Amino acid sequence: TIPQCALVIRPWSSAVNHGSDQLCKENSSFYITTPIFYVNAAPHLGHLYSAVIADCLHRWKLLQGFDSRFATGTDEHGLKIQQAAEAASKAPLTFCTEVSERFRNLFSSCNISFTDYIRTTEQRHRRAVEHFWSVLWNKGLIYKGSYEGWYSTQDESFLTPSQVGDALDPSGKEVKVSLESGHKVEWMKEENYMFRLSVFRPFLLDWLVKNPGAVQPERFHQTVLHWLQEDLPDLSVSRQRSRLQWGIPVPGDPEQTIYVWLDALVNYLTVVGYPDKHDQWWPVAHHVIGKDILKFHALYWPAFLLGAGLPLPQVIHVHSHWTVGGRKMSKSLGNVVDPFEHSRMFTNDGMRYFLLRQGVPDSDCDYTHDKVVKLLNAELADSLGGLLNRCTAPALNPAQVYPAFCSQAFCRAVAEDHHMVAAVRSLPTVVEKHYESMHVYKALEAISACVRQTNGFVQRHAPWKLDRRYSKEQRWLDTIVHVALECLRIYGTLLQPVVPEISDRLLTRLGVKQHERSWKDLHFLQRYEGTKCPFEGRMLGSDSGLLFNRLESQKQKAKKSHKSGHLK
């Protein structure tokens, strides 16, 4: 029987946000989270990717004038961490602190501008989890039962028989594995607490049907709907203390430890002050997650929240994975990409740009050194860097000013120039749409196409060939440079969420002040419309060198070291 109080304390439909990706106009708060990272191993490129996506959306919201909060942190309880600490012969908390610091350092050094860093071993989190548990318990949504079935420690996940298959381990022994992750599973049978997940099936279905943007991209929304066609058994939410000591004890039953996923998911609430006042931020939550943890975020988490009478997240943004050599990164394959090393090699912004320009949320992407070099050289060094260099070079711009626009001179513009102006004018709206739906690669594609058009415009009119001694020519030259600098100002402003350091250098070089770099400053080429341009006549900022230094491919590097070997 379904406990009465389970569903009626707060009508669930009013707890769900309508029009998932549209924030209420009067509410300028925004809350974005990354998954919290397991501390059983060092950070890798995939982890950085989750963080970079969330950082990009957070910076975008700030640029738009939102009061945005951005949480990340580490997931430190559970069997997997307990075993990793044992293997390292360290006390669990010491072990967790060390690895958690590595994540924090990585994020700080890669300009991940989190406002909150949560560790599940903190006291504030324990209090939140205990409270959350008690709410579910008091509503009769948790009962004492027994679980018998498959468990994957690597995924910290319970699996039904249909989710399990046969495989051979590296020594050739037959083992059972999760069909989804490929990780080994074990049969377990124990007394523990169960959550009435099955009760929530129709409510989850209704939520997804009424909120088609709740899980994005659409493909993953469909996946969740498909899961809901099948049986949704109750979920074990605790483990026997004898098996799992490293976790939060069940309130009132010290013989049981709370299941690590229930513990971990509550982190999103802890950050915003739960169980105390949390209503400014919780209703505007957006989660960024990898596709491997969709079930936990789109089935278990909403069910827990509905049970606790809390609003559901506005959007769950799902991304796909990075592979290396076409395969999942793994220590045993030796193909794990170290994000520290690669960010040093390609610069922070280089790494961020590559991940967001090449990463497609719908499908996996393969990471190769030469792909990074090729893309960054073409788009950041040559195209964008080249354009800035050309238009600010003393030879072309000896006075080092933001030159004047002359409408009469602009009559020399041809059809392609007008197309470019139209494209740049609509660029902010195009970019907004793609950033908001986390299709950052499409936003960058659009910016990159405009940069190419601006380069074409400058190339076509070759201002360096104009003779300054004739005032008509001088005015046309100034107009060309003015238009190009206006384009660069728009690109620099729109690129801030992706490449904050490069954008800062670019905008500083153009003389654009800090308070002139937001959504409200994206009016393009105001002089063309007959209004005043605040930048016209202003001195350019100091030249801090190339925007992005060209990188060498592995082939070029090898050739060089071969040559220098010969010379010796």
Q: How far is the CB of 285 from ligand MSP (least distance, A)?
A: 12
Q: Using the rule CB under 6 A, is 158 a contact of ligand MSP?
A: no
Closer to ligand MSP by CB, 305 or 488: give it. 305
Q: Using the rule CB under 6 A, is 322 a contact of ligand MSP?
A: yes
Q: How far is the CB of 30 from ligand MSP (least distance, A)?
A: 19
- Contact with ligand MSP (CB under 6 A): which of 12, 30, 31, 49? 49
User: Are 326 and 318 a contacting pair, CB within 8 Å?
Assistant: no
Neighbours of 491 (CB within 10 A): 23
- Contact with ligand MSP (CB under 6 A): which of 316, 329, 413, 447? 329
Q: For 487-492, which contacts have Cβ atoms below 8 Å and span 24 or more sequence positions?
A: 487/387, 487/420, 487/424, 487/450, 487/451, 487/454, 487/524, 488/387, 488/388, 488/391, 488/454, 489/535, 490/424, 490/427, 490/428, 490/450, 490/522, 490/524, 491/384, 491/447, 491/450, 491/451, 492/517
Q: Using the rule CB under 6 A, is 463 a contact of ligand MSP?
A: no
Tell me the two tokens of residue 441: 């690669």
Q: Alpha-carbon dihedral of residues 464, 468, 472, 476, nearest 10 degrees? A: 30
Q: Using the rule CB under 6 A, is 290 a contact of ligand MSP?
A: yes
H/E element holding 118?
strand 116-119
Closer to ligand MSP by CB, 292 or 382: give it. 292
155: number of CA atoms within 13 Å, CB side?
23
- Contact with ligand MSP (CB under 6 A): which of 15, 47, 72, 306? 47
Closer to ligand MSP by CB, 40 or 496: give it. 40
What letter represents residue 446's amino acid?
A: A
What CA–CA distances, in Å, run from 289 to 37, 103, 144, 403, 539?
Answer: 11, 17, 31, 46, 45
- Contact with ligand MSP (CB under 6 A): which of 293, 413, 510, 551? 293
**Interactions with ligand MSP, residue window 220-279 (CB under 6 A):** 264-265, 267
Tell me the two tokens of residue 520: 């409200």
Q: Which of 453, 458, 478 is nearest to 533 (CA)?
A: 478
Q: Partners of 238 in the beta sheet?
A: 258
Q: Phi/psi of residue 168, each to 5°?
A: -110, 135
Q: Using the rule CB under 6 A, is 440 a contact of ligand MSP?
A: no
- Contact with ligand MSP (CB under 6 A): which of 17, 50, 121, 503? 50
Q: Which residue of the chain is nearest ligand MSP when measured via CB?
A: 290
Q: How far is the CB of 10 from ligand MSP (least distance, A)?
A: 23
Q: Using the rule CB under 6 A, is 56 a contact of ligand MSP?
A: no
Q: How far is the CB of 74 from ligand MSP (least distance, A)?
A: 8
- Contact with ligand MSP (CB under 6 A): which of 102, 321, 371, 442? 321
Tell me the two tokens of residue 483: 């238009």
Q: Using the rule CB under 6 A, is 289 a contact of ligand MSP?
A: yes
With CB under 6 A as the rule, give the number of residues binding ligand MSP.
19
Q: How far is the CB of 50 from ligand MSP (least distance, A)?
A: 4
Q: How far is the CB of 41 from ligand MSP (least distance, A)?
A: 8
Of 42-50, 91-99, 428-436, 489-497: span binding ligand MSP (CB under 6 A): 42-50
H/E element holding 149?
strand 142-152
Closer to ligand MSP by CB, 48 or 204: give it. 48
- Contact with ligand MSP (CB under 6 A): which of 16, 32, 46, 421? 46
Question: Distance between CA 250 and CA 140 in Å, rounded?
Answer: 15
- For residue 59, what are the contacts with CB-CB under 8 A and spacing of at least 6? 113, 496, 497, 500
Q: How far is the CB of 392 from ligand MSP (least distance, A)?
A: 38
- Strands 142-152 and 186-195, by their bridges, are antiparallel
- Binding region for ligand MSP (CB under 6 A): 35-38, 46-47, 49-50, 75, 264-265, 267, 289-290, 292-293, 321-322, 329
